[in-house]
Amino acid sequence: MDFKAKESLIATLPSKSRLYAALWFSGEDLSLFLSRNTFARHAKILSQYGIDLSKRFVLDFHAPFTVSQLAESLGFSSRQVRYLLFRGHIFGEKDSSGIWRIPIPVRVSRSRPDLALKAHLKGIGYAVKSRHIK
């Protein structure tokens, strides 16, 4: 499932279950931090939409983002993403042809909590402890 499809699916969910679906899409095991009753309630609701909270969602780590793909999934411009890469707020590397490749999940500096939260909620990233990623 691509990120646009995930985003569309999450938008159709009941508001109280959206956060749990986004966390599930990011690979989180919700049974570790939800009470049994809360987990069961949201598992029942989300199962109607094809989301099985009892099974962990596996991210595809073998297909890195390009700048334009990450920009589209976060709602940024390509220029903003290149700036964040250059400043070390997002981890990425240039390949032999000079194209940025950003591994999934996206590693975001804790100095940008807004970006880290947005990436986490989109199910594509997490924050790292260092101030800047090098």
State how many domains the chain has: 2
Residue 56 lies in a domain: no
Same domain, 42 and 71: no
Residue 95 belongs to some domain of the structure: yes
Mean of the pLDDT values across residues 10-15? 90
Domain that holds residue 111: 67-128
pLDDT tens across 69-124, in order?
A: 888 877 888 998 898 888 888 888 888 888 888 887 777 777 776 776 677 666 67
Residue 76 and residue 25 share a domain: no
* pLDDT 10s digits, 13-36: 999 898 888 888 777 788 888 899
Q: How confident is the model at residue 134, as a pLDDT?
A: 47
82 and 36 assigned to the same domain = no
Distance, in Å, from the CA atom of 39 to the CA atom of 30, rounded to the nearest integer, reads 7
Question: For residue 133, is it within any domain?
Answer: no
